[in-house]
Amino acid sequence: MDLKSKIESLLFISGSPFSLEKIAKFVDAKKDEVETVLKELQEEYKTAGRGIHIAAIEGKYQMVTNPENSKLVEGFLKEEVIGELTRPQLETLTIVAYRGPISKIELEQIRGVNCSLILRNLLIRGLIEQKEDAYIITHDFLKYIGLTDTKDLPDYEKLNKDQNLQDLLQRTKEEGKTS
């Protein structure tokens, strides 16, 4: 797989910007090679009239929508934000509420699927927030459901400390270290 393809894939799946160093580490390439490819990609996306661009802000890179499509995107996001939550979004939000702060990796281990887009949507809606590499529910979410503390959630103590889930996460973490 070529370097350009690898970088595109990373930027596509990420819900947050990547530093040049982090991209270079993931694709196992030198920083200057990665920077050259990123500049090529930025130019390709711009000149091809594509719906996606690659933004570079303070040394971090992220895929963004073409500014010419801002009205379209705004309309879609508005509908997404005020629309009902999907079952996967509700599942993810529940896990974050009961297990937070929780990393994206742990969340995906529990759910068994990639959660990038779901997390991004929940962030946009203001239901969760990211603190370093972990996700937590927001005060707005608690206000919305009429609670003042996550400990007020039904069966919070039981579900927050579930031993089967702890064992699963620990086993998966250990398997990741040995492979």
Q: What is the pLDDT at residue 62?
A: 87
- pLDDT above 80 for 157: no
Region 131-159 average pLDDT: 79
Task: Report pTM.
Answer: 0.50
Bigger pLDDT: 103 vs 48: 103
Question: Around Cβ 107, how many Cβ atoms within 10 Å?
Answer: 22
Does pLDDT of 4 surpass 60? Answer: yes
* N-term to C-term CA, the chain: 22
pLDDT reading at 159 higher than 80: no
Residue whose structure tokens are 């040049």: 20
Q: Would you state the pLDDT for residue 13?
A: 82
135 DSSP β-pair partners? 102, 130
Name the token pair of 157: 């103590």
Query: Is 85:92 a contact under the CB 8 Å cutoff?
Result: no
- 84-178 and 3-69 share a CATH fold: yes
At residue 38, the pLDDT reads 93
Considering the four listed CATH numbers 1.10.10.10, 3.40.50.11270, 3.40.50.1110, 3.40.50.2300, the one that applies to the domain covering 84-178 is 1.10.10.10
More confident call, 37 vs 100: 37
Q: Where are the domains of the chain?
A: 3-69, 84-178
Nearest to 111 by CA among 87, 88, 84: 88
- Mean pLDDT for the chain overall: 82
CATH code reported for the domain at 3-69 = 1.10.10.10
Provide the pLDDT confidence category of residue 177 given band limits of 50, 70 and 90. low
What's the CA gap between 138 and 75, in Å, rounded?
A: 24
Average pLDDT (115-119) is 90
**What backbone torsions phi and psi does residue 48 show, to the nearest 5 degrees?**
-85, 0
CA of 3: how far to CAs of 26, 31, 90, 169, 179, in Å?
A: 11, 12, 36, 32, 24
What confidence category does residue 82 fall into, taking pLDDT thresholds of 50, 70 and 90? low
